[in-house]
Amino acid sequence: MRKHGNFPLLMITELFLPTKGGTAVSFDDDFRRLGGKEVHIITAEVPGAKEFDRDHPNSIYRLTFKRRPWVKPESLFIYSKLLLNSFWLTLTRRVVAVFAGRALPEGLVALIVGRLTGRLVLIYAHGEELTGWGRGRKFQAMCYAMRRADWILSNSDHTRDTLINLLGVQPERIVIAYPTVDENRFQPGLPAADLRSEIGLAEDTGLILSVGRLQRRKGFDNVIRALPELLGSGMDVHYVLIGIGDDFEHLQNLAGDLGVSDHVHLLGHVSYEDLPRWYNACDVFAMPNRDINGDTEGFGLVFLEAAASGKPAIAGQAGGTGSAVLDGVTGLRVDGESVIEIRQAVEGLLRDRQEAASMGENARKRVLENFTHKRRVDQLRELVVQNQKGQ
């Protein structure tokens, strides 16, 4: 029998490093730990890919994905490219299992390849992609793929419920595979005084941190809306936002309109080395997410980064963040639509530093027990091993 780590695997995903984002980071973590060159990644051609792929332990194949408006459906060429390349790799590399980064387009392609070649099919489900298709043909195609895959890898309990109640997936084929975080990269005690000094903070100034794509559903705008009353109550508090996205100008203008621009720091991207230090620099991490027309937060990897760094987090009540933040234990969950609740949560944690520190300790402990790379990779590997034993 093969060693567990040596199964030839195929991963089909549009999202993979060096593309920014927690999902791309998570996929990279999974598959570099699942094996070496016998693990094959089909993904998108993006800037910086050549340099990134050169020293990667897996075999990476880059495709140019472009929709053609004169073809119906516009994504036909994308599906065709993925299907042909995936089918060829599965046959020529003797792949035993096909993973897909999401249901569409990757999951549907993986299902076709898997059924034609008799391979195990596993599809990741993140949550936010399940509710944004309406109920038309794309939704039906997603349901078709999800209902027929061998395993669905759900990132949270909320996502699992959505798969069952909205998509009709059989519960016994859903495995909850929580996201993971590098507990050695994100840890308490990293030097961060220089980062605070760079934005002019005194030692006792309270610092709220947010990290993520600048999207309305993340709730960053409502953190800014909470600042005037926090400052008006006599608190010395600043807000650092790390990330890029469509809402950059909106958030910048909002801070100006509310007269808190001097207390809001939109940093865009920060370096790989500095990101863990920014978590150490803050007192409270906040992403009070909300649901906007079905667009919701499936889990929130950034909550794990904050937790691993020993920081309490403020999350919204929408989506799957309840799997990432335990209310009253590792942080607080609030109504992301309520500026009052957000303000009260921030103020409570900044004023009661002992309670905040206790939540941070609980959060770090929970990460070490439940959200390490080893635990998740062992779980994924075992699914493949079980299938091989059953053949």
165-203 residue pLDDT tens:
999 999 999 999 999 999 999 999 999 999 999 999 999
Chain centroid to Cα 263, Å, comes to 27
Please state the φ and ψ torsions of residue 273, each to the nearest 5 degrees. -70, -35
Check pLDDT > 70 for residue 68. Answer: no
Q: Is the pLDDT of residue 2 over 90?
A: no
Cis status of the peptide bond prior to 18, with omega within 30 of 0: yes
Structural domains of the chain in order of their starting residue, each with its CATH number? 4-180+372-390 (3.40.50.2000), 193-370 (3.40.50.2000)
pLDDT tens profile 204-238? 999 999 999 999 999 999 999 999 999 999 999 99
Q: Using a pLDDT cut of 70, give the percent of the chain over it.
A: 96
Q: Six-digit token pair at 35? A: 């094996």
Distances (CA, A) of 337 to 218, 219, 222: 11, 8, 8
Confidence of residue 3 (pLDDT cuts 50, 70, 90): very low
- Asked if residues 178 and 370 have their Cβ atoms less than 8 Å apart, the reply is yes
The CA distance from 138 to 133, in Å, is 6
In this prediction, residue 148 carries a pLDDT of 97
What pLDDT digit, counting tens, does each position of 22-61 carry?
A: 889 899 999 999 999 999 999 999 999 999 999 999 999 9
Residue 90 pLDDT exceeds 80: yes
Tokens of 257: 């309109």
What is the percent of the chain where pLDDT is above 90? 84
pLDDT score recorded for residue 390 = 62
- Per-residue pLDDT of 122-157, as tens digits, reads 999 998 888 877 788 989 999 999 999 999 999 999
User: What pLDDT is attached to residue 69?
Assistant: 64
Element (H, E) at 82: helix 76-92
pTM for the structure as a whole: 0.83
